[in-house]
Structure formats: C-alpha cells, structure tokens
Structure 1
Amino acid sequence: MTEVTLSAGVVEYEDTGGDGPVVVLLHGVAMDGSLWRHVVAGLRTDFRCVVPTLPLGSHRRPMRPDADLTVLGVAHLVAEFLEALDLRDVVLVMSDWGGAQALVAEGRDQRIGRLVITSCEAFDNYPPGLPGRNLVAAARIPGGLRMAFALLKLRPMRRLPMTWGWMSRRPVPHDVMDEWFRPLWTSAAIRRDLRAYVLGVPPRDELMAWAEALRTFDRPALVVWAAEDKVMPLAHGRRLAEMLPRGELVEIADSFTLIPEDQPQRLCEAVRAFVPRP
C-alpha cells in the first residue's frame, strides 16, 4: 500500500500503475479497497487502477480528531485525493457509498472524465436500508459500534439481513471480512471516525439536491445496478440513469449490492465496454 497525507490525515491506497486509462475505485462503509480485488485483477492489464481506502471504518490510520468526516467531508476528501495524486480525466467508480455524487453538486468534479455508479446510496436512501439503519442505531448509543462489530466476530452473524446478509448474495470470504472489521475491533479512534461519518448525514433536502445536480454532469456516465438489490432499490438506479444527460444503464442479475463481490467479471465487462481505449 502507498499513502498520501491529506487534510484529514493519511489515506492509504493501491496503485497498479501503467499507461492505461485511470480508474479510481471507491468502496463503502466498513470495508476497504480489497472489495475491488477481483475487478482490479480483471482490469489491471489495460487500466491503471487506483484504489484508496476511505476513512469509513476499515482504514488503519485514524484521521485527525478534528477532521470533517461527514458524508460531504469524505466526498471533499475524494476530490483532495485526486488533486494530491494529480489524477485527471479519471473514470470514477463507486460502490455502496454514494457520497461522490456530492462532488458534482459541489463543483468538485473537474478531474472526473467518466462516472460509473454501481449499486449505492442515492436520493434519500442514506443510511441505506436495514443494514444502514442498524448501523445508525448502534452509533447513537455510547459503545454501540464497539458492541455491534464485536458481534461480527461470530461468523453466523455476518449473514443476517441487518448486517451483511443483504449486501452480497454470496458470502464475502471470512478472511477478507476479518480484515475489514479488524480496525473497528481494535481501535477506539477508528470507531470514532466511523461514528462521525454515520451520524454526519445531511438533511433530506440536501441529499435530494445532490441527486438533482447529476443533471448537470455532461460527461459519459454508466449506472450499473444489481437487479435483485435489497438495500439499494433498483428504481433508484433507473432514475439515476435517466437523470444523467449521457447516462447508460446496465442491470446485473444474480447480485445484491456488492456487485464487485457477486459479479466482478460482468462488472469488468461493463467498464471495458464503457471506457474507450486509446
């Protein structure tokens, strides 16, 4: 892993290098860049894949205590990351986490050449579905996040609808999930960071304005949505594709929210078809 120091703290990232189009892959809450391991393996021969680990609970370097880790604050951190690495004309791909939509609303999208939105938070679905509501409930109770993630040491708990059972049709390997959860098991500072994010969701009007701002995104955009998603409504994917002036829609069967886990090959095929080669 490589690292870069940003205003909020140190952010670690993987960079495969190469001369191909730059694809920046963003993960969701309580997971890290390894979510994209199969997609990176399928793209790296022809693309430069850059995969930051965002401060969403599975990061290993706590952020500064005064860092803005609201949804909007983390979105600003993504823009700062692109600037710090001087990445331009990137293909920005998001999964589960929808905060990057705020980059368009905030006018921080100049370095994005193409946008790929896979099943993620959108409109007022923040926090998303039953797992999101469960996480917010835990964050509001002193010690609640510590207890919630301690329960996930019990592997059968990981497949409950209120935890990770509705996030992927196929169980994420336990060794991968162990690494996702370990920082939350071992670090009060990491739990502090996650709590700041989970409780930092803006009002509904602001969330809806972020989605509405996508109508101004004049570059190519691809919406890839899991047809059987139980957390991110399929109707949201269709609405997003209609709102984006140059939007395309691909629906992927036999997958829940985490398409990079359930159908990585089909996601790679969609990205390859969407991104022109030099």
Structure 2
Amino acid sequence: MPTASNGSVSLYYEVDGDSDAETVVCLGDVGYGAWQWGWQHAGLTGPFETLVTDLRGAGRSDAPPGPYAVDELVADVQAVLEAHGSRRVHVVGAGLGGMVALELARLSSRPRSLALLGTAPIGADLTLDPLFGAPSDPDALETSLAAALSREFLDAHPDVIERIVDWRAAEDTSREAWDAQAAAVEAFDLSNRLYEIDVPSLVIHGRDDAVWPVDRGRRLAEELPRGEFVGLDGGHLIGIERSREVNDRLFGFFEA
C-alpha cells in the first residue's frame, strides 16, 4: 500500500498503468474517497499512468483535526508526487480537488494541464451540507446522492447507486473530517489571482449542478488565461453521470 508523508500525516495513493506514460493525478471532492474516480480510472489508465490519492480526512489517508486549508492539501499532494517521483503531471480535480489543483498550478511547475470538474474559483456561500452522508448510515448515503446526481441518473441506474453507497460506506469521511474539508472550500478565494495560472485548463461542469452553481464554472473558465468551458447535462458528479463524454474530452485534452 503506497503512502507518502507530509509531516505526521500519512497520505494514501494508488498508481496504475505504464510508468513510462504521462501521469494523470486525480484529486477528489469534499467527503468522498477514491471510489469517485473509478469511471475516469477505467477510461484513462493505459494511455496514461493514473495516480489517485485520498485527500487528508478521506479513505485510507490520515484524518488529523481540522479545519483544513487548501494550501495544506496542496502540500499533501506535493508530498505524494515527490514520493512517486512525478515531475510533470496532468491534474484532474473535482470540487475541492479542483481548488487544490488550481493552487498547485499557481505555486508549482508540476502541472502540465488542469481538468476541473464541478469546481469554482471561490468557495464562499456554497451550501455543501446536502452532499454529506454519514458512512455508518446507508440511507443517509443514498439520500445525499440526490444533491450530487440528477434525478434522471438516480432513477435509471439503481444498481450503480447501490454500489456507490457501499463504496461510500467504506471510504467517505466522518462528519468531523467532512467539516474540516468543507472549511477549506469556504475559505478558498483565488478569484483575483487566476491570471497567474497559465497552463491549459479544461473546465467541465454539470448544467444541473445543485450545489456548485454552473455559473461559477463558467466564470472560472473565462478568467483563466487558457481556460475552456464545457457544460454537460447532469448534476455535480458529472464525471460519473457523463463518464464516457467526460473521459473522451479528458483524453483528447491531455493528448493535445
């Protein structure tokens, strides 16, 4: 089980694919474990080496007392990349993970490009709480998916929802760690410094995102020097709902 350390915090990560290929790093959203990247892992591993890490608080990474800050999470990611020996990487970030990706690109030369799913340049005034479900409560885990996925997807894929509930029970954060991660979102504001991020950036956002408004995604793409916006029908977890289209766009973007 590969781990990296940032001070006393142990950080879990998984690597798959050809070590000689370009590396795609996946950074997750508030409260979710690595399960959320299963769809992108299947689509990108092979042509790329994929690296999925649990942010502090989630999955098999340590959960120190919060609140957390995005710069702490960036330092965690840097420790993981250093442990793996990654010099230049493509970064995919969802929600909170997208904020971490933005700050990583601002502070470091490691990112070659960014793909940002359902994220924003500022976290104030987002109501994240509907996304939380206690890992010990299967009903709450399923109910909270109504804020993350469209009703059409929920109704059409009950078997997928059942599997997601099981994965969430095993990997998602406790309430305390969820609050610590959510605090990092609330305090984040890069709206006046996006001009400092000059790597190609693809912003993909669900048009029906009930928690991270699509207008914030459009603003992010407009204000990034090399930003491109793609809106897709679907909810917050657009990488799951529209996985084939998202993966096709990620593949083409990273190849270019």
Q: TM-score band, normalised by the shorter chain?
A: 0.7 to 0.9
Structure with higher Rg: it is 1
String of CA shifts for 1:15-55, please: whole Å, max 9, x gaps. 11312221001111221112111211111120111001112
RMSD: 2.7
> 2:45 corresponds to which residue?
44
Letter in 2 for 1:218: D
> 1:164 corresponds to which residue?
145
Letter in 2 for 1:39: Q
Runs of 4+ in 1 over 6 A off after TM superposition: none
Q: Quick one: which of 218, 222, 226 aligns to 1:246? A: 226
**8 A contact 1:212–1:243 mirrored in 2:** no
Letter in 2 for 1:110: S
Q: What is the distance in 2 between the residues matched to 1:214 and 1:84?
A: 28
String of CA shifts for 1:79-98, please: whole Å, max 9, x gaps. 22222322122111101224
- Normalising by structure 1, we get a TM-score of 0.77
Q: What is the distance in 2 between the residues matched to 1:263 and 1:28?
A: 17
String of CA shifts for 1:135-158, please: whole Å, max 9, x gaps. 7xxxxxxxxx9xx6167322xx44
Secondary structure of 1:77's aligned partner: helix
1:175 has 2:163 as partner: yes
Query: 5+ unaligned residues in a row in structure 2: which ranges?
Result: 155-159
Mapping 1:20-169, distance limit 5 Å:
20-56=21-57, 58-64=58-64, 69-97=68-96, 98-100=98-100, 101-105=102-106, 107=107, 109-125=108-124, 128-129=126-127, 132-133=128-129, 149=134, 152-154=137-139, 157-160=140-143, 163-169=144-150
> 1:258 corresponds to which residue?
237
Q: Go from structure 1 to structure 2 and tell me whether the alpha carbon gap of 1:8 and 1:248 turns closer, same or farther (over 3 Å shift).
A: farther
**8 A contact 2:13–2:80 mirrored in 1:** no
Give the % identical residues: 24
Q: What is the distance in 1 between the residues matched to 2:135 and 2:40?
A: 29
**8 A contact 2:11–2:76 mirrored in 1:** no
Q: What is the distance in 1 between the residues matched to 2:53 and 2:179?
A: 20
Query: 5+ unaligned residues in a row in structure 1: which ranges?
Result: 136-144
Count residues with an aligned counterpart: 246
Secondary structure of 1:198's aligned partner: helix
Letter in 1 for 2:38: R
- Normalising by structure 2, we get a TM-score of 0.83
